[in-house]
């Protein structure tokens, strides 16, 4: 749910909605955008024309508009400004190598989880966890690890804003059950996700915090259910991931 108030600039909101639509549909024409967003064709054209002049979109064959690479420059800069990114990157690589699976780094922004970095082992499965991918925090082990570090008031704010949508039959969609899970995570220091976002995928994760215990992000190991059975998911991988967490947090503390 998007929050709007009297300070919102409607013209900017329309431009951003158009950009998001073009991105989500891997390109779109004026008529399609106007129909789906319930805007006039002339309005869509003016916004696209302005965005094109500023190099945020470009027009391809068949009058289809695409998101421009100028966003890539902005995204790379935004990622570098996250202090955890450069510090954690080599350790994420090591985590992937030692686990033999995929390793990820995720941060929280505006109550959503944003993937910042991913490292693959030679047998990692091909997933949608590319840099910039957004997910609901309650659906992933990394998201739950971050939530477990936040005050209850903040967790409730996130739930009130984004809800607890169901991604699979295993997603936690009940507020009380989620808080029970977060209590367990806070006590043991790591979280698991048993097919809660994607069917067939399991993950183990832990939050990375600064010296004041503020969560900077979370790291995880992800793999297919067939390889990450409980013996590995809850016995082997937590020890590995907590060791990596310790290294990253020491590096953060003494940067």
Q: Tell me: the pLDDT tens digits for 156-196?
A: 999 999 999 999 999 999 999 999 999 999 999 999 999 99
Residue 197 is predicted with a pLDDT of: 95
Task: Write down the pLDDT at residue 69.
Answer: 85
- The answer on pLDDT for 27 being more than 70 is yes
36-63 CB burial, b ≥16 within 10 A, e <16: eeebeeebbeebbeebeeeebbbeeeee
Residue 103 and residue 220 in contact, taking contact as beta carbons nearer than 8 Å: yes
Show the tokens assigned to 128.
Answer: 């949608």
Q: What local confidence, expressed as pLDDT, does residue 236 receive?
A: 92
Q: Which domains does the chain have, with CATH numbers?
A: 10-68 (1.10.10.10), 78-253 (3.30.450.40)
pTM summary value: 0.81
Band (pLDDT 50/70/90 cuts) for residue 1 is: very low
The structure tokens listed for 99 are 């686990």
128-151 residue pLDDT tens = 778 888 999 999 999 999 999 999
**CA dist., res. 155 & res. 148, Å (int):** 8
What pLDDT was estimated at residue 7? Answer: 56
Tokens of 66: 């695409």
pLDDT at 56 over 70: yes
φ/ψ of residue 192, rounded to 5? -125, 155
Indicate the pLDDT class of residue 5, thresholds 50, 70 and 90.
low
Phi, psi of 40 (to 5 degrees): -75, 155
Average pLDDT over residues 14-39: 92
Mean pLDDT in residue range 68-81 = 81
Q: Tell me the average pLDDT of the chain.
A: 91
Q: What are the tens digits of pLDDT across the range 213-242?
A: 999 999 999 999 989 887 888 889 999 999
Instruction: Indicate whether 6 pLDDT > 60.
Output: no
pLDDT of residue 232: 86
Q: What is the DSSP string of the chain?
A: -----TT--HHHHHHHHHHHHHHHTTSB-HHHHHHHHT--HHHHHHHHHHHHHTTSEEE-GGG-EEE-THHHHHHHHHHHHSHHHHHHHHHHHHHHHHHTSEEEEEEEETTEEEEEEEE--TT----S--TT-EEEGGGSHHHHHHHTTS-HHHHHHHHHHH----SSTTS---HHHHHHHHHHHHHHS-EEEESSSSTTEEEEEEEEE-TT--EEEEEEEEEETTTS-HIIIIIIHHHHHHHHHHHHHHHHHT-
């Amino acid at each position: 749910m998007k929050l709007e108030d009297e300070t919102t600039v409607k013209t900017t909101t329309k431009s951003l909605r158009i950009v998001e639509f073009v991105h989500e549909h891997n390109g779109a024409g004026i008529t399609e955008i106007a129909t789906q967003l319930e805007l006039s064709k002339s309005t869509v054209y003016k916004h696209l024309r302005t965005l094109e002049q500023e190099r945020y979109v470009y027009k391809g064959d068949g009058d289809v508009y695409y998101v421009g690479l100028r966003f890539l420059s902005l995204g790379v800069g935004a990622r570098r400004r996250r202090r955890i990114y450069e510090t954690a990157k080599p350790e994420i690589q090591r985590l992937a190598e030692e686990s033999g699976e995929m390793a990820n780094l995720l941060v929280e922004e505006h109550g959503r989880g944003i993937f910042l970095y991913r490292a693959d082992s030679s047998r990692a499965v091909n997933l949608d966890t590319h840099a910039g991918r957004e997910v609901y925090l309650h659906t992933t082990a990394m998201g739950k690890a971050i939530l477990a570090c936040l005050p209850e008031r903040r967790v409730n704010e996130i739930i009130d804003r984004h809800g607890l949508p169901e991604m699979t039959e295993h997603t936690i969609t009940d507020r009380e059950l989620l808080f029970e899970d977060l209590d367990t995570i806070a006590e043991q220091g790591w979280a698991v996700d048993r097919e809660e976002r994607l069917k067939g995928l399991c993950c183990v994760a832990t939050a990375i915090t600064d010296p004041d215990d503020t969560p900077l992000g979370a790291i995880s190991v992800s793999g297919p259910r067939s390889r990450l059975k409980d013996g590995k998911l809850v016995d082997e991988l937590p020890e590995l991931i907590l060791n990596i967490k310790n290294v990253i947090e020491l590096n953060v503390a003494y940067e």
